[in-house]
Amino acid sequence: MLRSSNPHSDLLPRPLGRRNMTVQVASVSSAASPVNFVPALTVWRGSAGYSALAEMPDGRIVLVYEKSRDVPLDFESVSVLVFAVERRGTR
């Protein structure tokens, strides 16, 4: 399973569209198949910037991301979120 994190918003122009920090997931059946990410979890509904994901040895996911309450963007903090991912069987 692939995971991605990014601000997920339809608002344009940027930076207004840099909102809604979202973790997305995609299943890959083969190297030749297309990858379609599906939004799975919105962790912050305010302004959001750069982010990074990592998997811990116990399988939990760590998300580190910039967030702000203001537009224009004035990133006032970096947040860390740790969460578990439900494992589903393959089809």
Residues 22-80 have pLDDT tens digits of 999 888 877 777 788 888 889 998 888 899 999 999 989 999 999 887 666 677 788 99
Tokens at 39, concatenated: 């939004």
Going along 32-90, which residue ranges are E strands? 38-55, 61-68, 77-83
The mean per-residue pLDDT over the stretch 76-85 comes to 86
- pLDDT band at residue 91 using 50, 70 and 90 as cut-offs: very low
Token pair belonging to 8: 């997920």
- What pTM value is reported for the model? 0.76
β 61-68/38-55 pair status:
antiparallel
First vs last C-alpha separation in the chain? 13
